[in-house]
Structure 1
Amino acid sequence: MQLVKKDAVSWLTTLPDSSVDLVITDPPYESLEKHRKIGTTTRLKVSKGSSNQWFDIFPNSRFESLLKELYRVLKKGSHFYLFCDQETMFVIKPIAEKVGFKFWKPIVWDKVCIGMGYHYRARYEFILFFEKGKRKLNDLGIPDILEHKRVYRGYPTEKPVSLIKQLIEQSTKEGEVVIDPFFGSGATLIAATQLNRVAIGCDISDYAHEKASSRKNDRKTVS
């Protein structure tokens, strides 16, 4: 597992063309900050009831430069998964298509338990599924709703390793390169390492590096 501390776009510019087999990432998009500020999700809110540290937001205005670099570094015949909410989905999709990605569909991550909110409390999150060129999924019998329990009391917006593993198993084979430009808790890198893929990640946050480094040698991590 390789960890880099740098701005995501700046880091991607250092990677060679067509050098990556899969991207799975969860950028700290703008709408998260909006929900955090108005307190619609205590999990992300900095308060007496939450020990979570927060992170710098990646503005919507930078998504085109990010997606251009992701398209460049991905090999032809590869997949790209991006976690986001319903607001950011409508920002990302047209930009990704503009730079060359084929958009297949939003995959729904069913967290099993409901979260915070006012109007139909949230139980899911979107994973946007993009493709460069053409690559067949390894198992065509997997549905577009994936059930994995959310991680409690973890890194802000932490994703379960089991969920990331399912995406990696669908879109790569052993020995291929998986990257995450916003690795956060390190879940993508842990999952890739456990599945014998080459795992490389970048994050500008000191807290992310502390968290991921503490898990780096734990091949038994499952959540």
Structure 2
Amino acid sequence: MRLAKSDALSWLATLADDSVDLIITDPPYESLEKHRKVGTTTRLKVSKASSNQWFDIFPNACFDEFCQQLYRVLKPNRHCYLFCDQETMFAIKPAAERAGFKFWKPLVWDKINIGMGYHYRSRYEFILFFEKGKRKLQDLGIADVLTCKRVYRGYPTEKPVPLLEILVKQSSEPGELVIDPFFGSGSTLIAAHKLQRECAGADIADAAFEYLAQRRQTGDGV
């Protein structure tokens, strides 16, 4: 497991062309900050109900450069998964297509329990499925709705390891390199490590390194 304390764009710039087998990441997109300010994502900030620290957002204006870097470092005939909400999807999808990716579809992560919100409370999140070249999924019988209970009282926007294991299994082989430029809670790296993939990631938050180190010390999937 290789970790770098760096912003995503700077770290990606250090990687060689066509050197990565799979990308799975969850950028801290702009709309999260908007929802936090109006009180619809209280679990993501410091409050009486949560001890989570907030993180710096990644501006939508940077998605073109970000997707260009993702496309550059990804090997031909490989996959890329980007977690996002319904607003950010309309910013990331065209940026990724401009970079050269083929967009297949948004997968839906069904979190089982409803979350915060005013107009039909949130229960799902999108995972945008992109391809560079052509690569067959391992199991063509898996549906485009992935049901997995969300993580409570974890790192902000933490993703469950079993959900990420599905993506890792579907789009990579043991020994291949999986990266996450915004590793956050470390769940993508943990899932890759558990499945005998090489893994690397970057984050700018001290809290991300501390949280992942704690997970590794307690044997949380590592």
Please report the TM-score for the alignment, with normalisation by the length of structure 2. Answer: 0.97
Q: Who is 2:184 aligned against? A: 184
Q: Who is 2:23 aligned against? A: 23
Deviations 1:23-68 (A, max 9, x none): 0000000000000111012211332221110101111111111110
Aligned pair 1:209/2:212, yes or no?
no
Q: Who is 1:98 aligned against? A: 98
What is the count of residue pairs matched by the alignment?
222
Structure 2 unaligned runs (5+)? none
C-alpha deviation, 1:134, in angstroms? 0.3
Query: How far apart in 2 are the matches of 1:58 and 1:143?
Result: 30
C-alpha deviation, 1:192, in angstroms? 0.3
Q: Who is 1:134 aligned against? A: 134
| C-alpha contact (below 8 Å) 2:32/2:41 kept by paired residues | no
Give, as a single letter, the amino acid of the residue that structure 1 aligns with 2:73.
V
Written as runs of structure 1 = structure 2, the 5 A alignment for 1:70-85 is 70-85=70-85
Query: How far apart in 2 are the matches of 1:38 and 1:212?
Result: 29
Structure 1 unaligned runs (5+)? none
| C-alpha contact (below 8 Å) 1:110/1:125 kept by paired residues | yes
Written as runs of structure 1 = structure 2, the 5 A alignment for 1:1-223 is 1-216=1-216, 220-221=220-221
Give, as a single letter, the amino acid of the residue that structure 1 aligns with 2:132.
K
Query: How far apart in 2 are the matches of 1:207 and 1:45?
Result: 13
Please report the TM-score for the alignment, with normalisation by the length of structure 1. Answer: 0.97
Deviates more, 1:113-122 or 1:36-45: 36-45
Q: Secondary structure at the match of 1:137?
A: coil
Query: How far apart in 2 are the matches of 1:212 and 1:59?
Result: 25
| C-alpha contact (below 8 Å) 1:193/1:219 kept by paired residues | no
| C-alpha contact (below 8 Å) 1:45/1:52 kept by paired residues | yes
- Percent identity for Structure 1 against Structure 2: 70
Query: How far apart in 1 are the matches of 2:220 and 2:24?
Result: 20
